[in-house]
Structure formats: structure tokens, C-alpha cells
Amino acid sequence: MLKSHPFNWIAGSVLIIAVCIWLYMSFGYIYEEHVTEATLEEKSHDDEGYYVTIDGEEIVVEDESLWMVLEEDEDYEVTYEWYGKKQPYMVDINQAHDDDSVGGSH
């Protein structure tokens, strides 16, 4: 007959908690990166979507219209997110040094 030892219960609980934390951080946590002065190196597309390469990172652009107005070798301020093993996708993009609050109106 096997006896339960308190150490086995504690070690098992710690192991289960560690695995749960690892799973959450790997697959449930959304990572965000904000890059200023990022140069758009390349634009590409295929049957699955539209992509830009910024600072060596291939990023999905979900809006075709946005992808069309972006220009290679231009500097942008970019925010992108990813989680788990998914490819990063663009959340926000703006021209570098573009302050929307400056300027006049009609």
C-alpha cells in the first residue's frame, strides 16, 4: 500500500502551478512592442495575407488599404502585438515625427 507524504502533495502542487503559469505566459499573454523610427524594409503579400518587414520582423497587416499606402524605406512609428506562436500583427502605425496635434484646421 502506498502512503501519501505531504512533500509529494506540495511538490505536485508547485509543479502544477508552474505548468499553469508557463502555459499562460506562452499562449495566453499578449505581448506588445512599440517601435519608434522603424524603417519599413519590405512589403509582401500572398494568399494568406499582407505583410511588412520592419527592423527584420515580419508583421501582418490586416487592412489591405493600409498596406497599400505604406511605402518601403520610410520611417514609421509602429505598435504590434503577438501571443503564443502566432505571427505578430500590426495594431497601430503612424509616420515618424508626425504630431497629429500640431497644425491648423480650416
**85 domain-assigned:** yes
Taking only the tens of pLDDT, the chain with its 106 residues reads 446 777 788 888 999 999 888 877 777 678 899 988 889 999 999 998 999 999 888 999 999 999 999 999 999 999 999 887 788 999 998 887 766 544 444 4
**What is the CA 17 to chain-centroid distance, rounded?**
26
CATH number at residue 67: 2.40.50
**101 domain-assigned:** no
Q: What is the number of domains present in the chain?
A: 1
Q: Which three cell numbers stand for residue 35?
A: 517601435
**24 domain-assigned:** no
How many CA atoms lie less than 13 Å away from 75 in the CB half-sphere?
6
64 in Cβ contact with 50 (< 8 Å): yes
**17 domain-assigned:** no
Tally Cβ neighbours within 10 Å of residue 66: 13
d(CA 75, CA 82): 22
State which residues form the domain around 47. Answer: 31-95
**61 domain-assigned:** yes
Dihedral sign of CA atoms 85, 83, 52, 54 in order: negative
User: How much is the pTM?
Assistant: 0.66
